[in-house]
Amino acid sequence: MKNILLLLISSSLLVGLVSCEDAHARSSDEGTSVIEVDSIGIKVNALLARMTLEEKIGQMNQYNGFWDVTGPAPSEGDAANKYEHLKKGMVGSMLNVRGVKEVREVQKIAVEETRLGIPLIIGFDVIHGYKTISPIPLAEAASWDLEAIKLSAQVAAEEAAASGINWTFAPMVDISRDARWGRVMEGAGEDPYLASLIAVARVQGFQGDDLSLANTIAACAKHFVGYGFPVAGKDYNTVDVGTSTLYNVLLPPFKAAEEAGVRTFMNAFNELNGIPATGSAFLQRDILKGEWDFDGFMVTDWGSINEMIAHRYAKNRRQAAEFAINAGADMDMESYAYVNELVSLVQEGRVDESLIDDAVKRILRVKYELGLFDDPYKYLDETVEKEVIGSQRIMDAALDMAIKSIVLLKNENNLLPLKKNGQKIALIGALANDKTSPLGSWRIAADDETAVTVLEGMQAYKGNTLTYEKGADVVTGETLFPKELTLNVSDKSGFSSAVTAAKNADVVVMVLGEHGLNSGEGRSRSEIGLTGVQQELLETVYKANKNIVLVLNNGRPLTIEWADEHIPAIVEGWHLGTQSGHAIAQVLYGDYNPSGKLPMTFPKNVGQVPIYYNHKSTGRPLDPGQGEVFWSHYTDVSNAPLYPFGYGLSYTTFGYSDLKVDVVSNDKVTVSVKLTNTGDVKGKEVAQLYLRDEFASVTRPVRELKGFELVELNPKESKIIEFTLTHAELGFYDNNGKYIVEPGTFSVFVGGSSDATLTSKFDLK
Ligand code: BGC
């Protein structure tokens, strides 16, 4: 992202004007000497030269604005301290300050009261929408619609920017295979290929083409790296991953984000091979800033410098600060470690000042790119704030994204779509009438009680008679963010009215799952079924009326084996944000033909977790038959998941045929397939291509997604879909992190899920 000026002048003229590191000479085609000048670099260096050590370290210090969002309440927060540090130029960034008025208040101090007037960069967790909430990222990933996902990030950026925010701590690009981990809701699922493309879409959506515009914000790829692999799915737990998984599964989405120009990274709470990520020079200096040549900056996760003490890695805050800066963490979020320890660490020679300079240059660069030096108040316009936030355009985008995120999991005897007239419908479940839960857990700027419920969505269809019954609560007590929810619901007094409503209905729609605050940070679960007494409610209602459509509301794959066996229709409705109820109703009534596909495998039971489609073969993959014991399996459940990665139905059906493979060269293989809409209504299908490298110097997964296309077809219409496999898709990383493509035989599978059976083989020489 270097801002380059091309100067066609003799290099000698530049001497004295530009330092060597900001200017690179090369010869043009005409033989003239072309000097590429990093114009932002010049400004950054000039400013840095005027800064004291304390001011430099101030830029590396980030404070929370008002309240504790995800971590312990700040005891030393500057807001509590009447902005004493801010006034002294000892703060480079603030998070959780939002709204034009509040942001102006702190920005004014930075710009008008400090010696150098360096503007703050204002960060915020714009994870899935800002005030208008879009679907949780896992749900958006289920759309496989990169344009829609990009647009969703773009409108979120617009809304946040209108509220004075310059920087989001998103996208989270952590791969996870463990549905117990509450933060799976915040990522793009289990697959590195899909997640990489989504990472790019989100970065482009947030940052746009021009970061200096007042409606774009800097993005942040987080959490670098391994945070999605906590042992036993317990948040903040130890991470233990092998080299091959690190290079081939965890790092690719980060690399994709870096290549898409993401301006910041966030490190992680976890350790990796015994070194906390925040103190890992291997990750931050060698890989990110070395090999990948990343020129933005690295912010720590909340208090993660200090947490190195609890990890029993650093003995105290001082040592933690030393480890973090030496390892390449540029900005300290809420540890108060840099601001308190770095000056003396430099003076005592334990930290080289050049590392401070490097960190500050990175931070200043991003501030220049955002245009904050040209106009620190450019994001601060009350009229824009009023116009943009919650505008119809943004609401429409949230609805569009929500509809596209829904996945149809089962539809026996075409129970769906519902008939629009003359039906008696019973709607059951507390989540069907909850105006907060669909907002999910990352909704700091949204007001409670602002989501459209399924009840409201269905009430918009007037032709049927709709009866609503809660049945049972999903949680008890306060649903107060960020407190733990109470799940021990035992009250079944609402069951009998639910049963009566079901008996009198033609069709029953049940909205069940988990509350929006049951997934997210710190919300790991050891059982991942329907919470509370909802399973019992479902089984009780089923005895009264079997014609049930189950709509799931959840932030992670759930274990719903009983439902899959008994309930005729199941719709995955996630936590879909502000427009949730309209989106779900439109799908139930067939005004939108569902097109989502699962970005994460659904297990049959929690014992199968972690379960993922791109697993390795093992030495004993196959059932030898006749009750054999000694092969890789469970004795009480099959190896198959409930629903595989990539799975999702439509109100129409699709057929795949005519698979053709052409090896053009060792770097280019084309694959084509004929996709036909074999049903009676128009629909969209995600055609997916999976590859298996049959034998390799490092064992490869049984299959890996390497291409997909979202296609819309009219009934009986066909289309030839073409995929091109190149170097980027045909190879893998060896255990030294080197990308290689090996000769040999590959199998290709094409179809509508990771279970695709249409297959062919090809050889690379
Ligand atoms: C989370 C980050 C988040 C930060 C700031 C942390 O607890 O892990 O993802 O960006 O808080 O809110």
Which residues is 750 bridged to in the sheet? 689, 758
Question: From CA 532, how far away is CA 491, in angstroms rounded?
Answer: 9
DSSP string, 275-324: EEGGG-HIIIIIIIIIIT---SEEEPPTTHHHHHHHTTSSSSHHHHHHHH
Same domain membership, residue 295 and residue 182: yes
Q: Quick one: pLDDT at residue 755?
A: 98
Are residues 575 and 469 part of one domain? yes
Catalytic, out of 178, 301, 434, 755: 301
Q: What is the CATH number of the domain that holds 576?
A: 3.40.50.1700
Given this model, what pLDDT does residue 503 score?
98
- The CATH number given to whatever domain includes residue 233 is 3.20.20.300
Question: Do residues 81 and 29 both lie within one domain?
Answer: no
pLDDT value at residue 14: 44
Q: Identify the H or E element spanning 64.
A: strand 61-64
| Residue nearest atom 6 in ligand 1 by C-alpha distance | 302
Tell me if 636 is assigned to some domain. Answer: no
Tell me how far the alpha carbon of residue 169 lies from the centroid of ligand 1, in angstroms.
7
Q: Are 68 and 18 in a shared domain?
A: no
Range of the domain at 431: 406-608
Does residue 128 lie within any of the structural domains? yes
**Which atom belonging to ligand 1 lies closest to the Cα atom of 269?**
8
Please state the atom number of ligand 1 nearest to the C-alpha of residue 223. 9
> 386: Cβ–Cβ under 8 A, 6 or more apart, which residues?
none
Residue nearest to atom 10 of ligand 1 (CA): 169
CA 513 – CA 552 distance, rounded (Å): 5
The pocket around ligand 1, CB under 6 angstroms, is made up of 69-71, 125, 169, 222, 301-302, 521
Do the Cβ atoms of 61 and 338 come closer than 8 Å? yes
Q: Name the stretches of the chain with pLDDT < 50.
A: 1-17, 68-74
The residue from 578, 608, 638 where one domain ends is 608
Q: Can you give the pLDDT at residue 640?
A: 98
129 and 197 fall within a common domain:
yes
| Residue 553: inside a domain | yes
Q: How many residues in total does the chain contain?
A: 765
Full-model pTM:
0.95
The helix or strand, by DSSP H or E, that contains position 456, with its residue range, turns out to be helix 454-459
- The answer to whether residue 635 sits within a structural domain is no
pLDDT tens-place string over residues 441-493:
999 999 999 999 999 999 999 999 999 999 999 987 766 667 778 778 899 99
Q: Are residues 758 and 718 in the same domain?
A: yes
Query: Is 235 an annotated catalytic residue?
Result: no
Judge contact between 682 and 714, C-beta under 8 A.
Answer: yes
**Three-class DSSP category at 477:** coil
CATH number at residue 680: 2.60.40.10
Residue ID of nearest Cα to ligand 1 atom 4: 302
Residue 625 lies in a domain: no
- Measure 286 CA to ligand 1 centroid, in angstroms: 24
Q: Residue 156: its pLDDT value, please?
A: 98
- Does residue 527 belong to any structural domain of this protein? yes
Which pLDDT score is estimated for 34?
72
Ligand 1 atom with least separation from CA of 169? 10
- Identify the DSSP state of 419: P
The end-to-end CA distance of the chain, in Å, is 38
**Residue of 95, 125, 444 to mutate, ligand 1, most atoms within 8 A of C-beta:** 125
* Ligand 1 closest atom vs CA 70: 7
Among 64, 301, 304, 305, name the best residue to mutate to test ligand 1's pocket (greatest count of ligand atoms within 8 A of Cβ): 301
Q: Examine residue 357 and state whether it is found in any structural domain, yes or no.
A: yes
Nearest CA to ligand 1 atom 5: 302
Distance from residue 130's CA to the centre of ligand 1 (Å): 15
pLDDT of residue 488: 80
Report the 10 Å Cβ neighbour count for 273. Answer: 13
Go through 74-102 and write b for each residue having 16 or more CB atoms within 10 A of its CB, e for each that does not.
Answer: beebbbeeebebbeebbbbbbbbbbbbeb
Radius of gyration from C-alpha coordinates of the chain: 27
Residues 504 and 554 in one domain: yes
Residues 701, 602 share a domain: no
Verify that 204 and 310 share a domain, yes or no. yes
CA of 519 to the centre of ligand 1 (A): 15
Q: 333 C-alpha vs ligand 1 centroid, how far in Å?
A: 9
For residue 90, how far is its CA from the centre of ligand 1 (angstroms)? 22
Let me know whether 354 and 462 are in one domain: no
Mutate to test the pocket of ligand 1, among 302, 331, 332 (most ligand atoms within 8 A of CB): 302
One domain, residues 168 and 238: yes
Domain's final residue, options 385, 417, 439? 385
pLDDT computed for residue 460 by the predictor? 98
419 Cα to the center of ligand 1, angstroms: 45
Pair (514, 557) in one structural domain = yes
CA distance 563 to 62: 48
Q: What is the predicted pLDDT for the residue at 142?
A: 99
Asked if residue 82 belongs to a domain, the reply is yes
Tell how far the Cα of 301 is from the centroid of ligand 1, in angstroms: 6
Q: In 3-state terms, what secondary structure has residue 53?
A: helix
CA-nearest residue, atom 2 of ligand 1: 301
The count of structural domains within the chain is 4
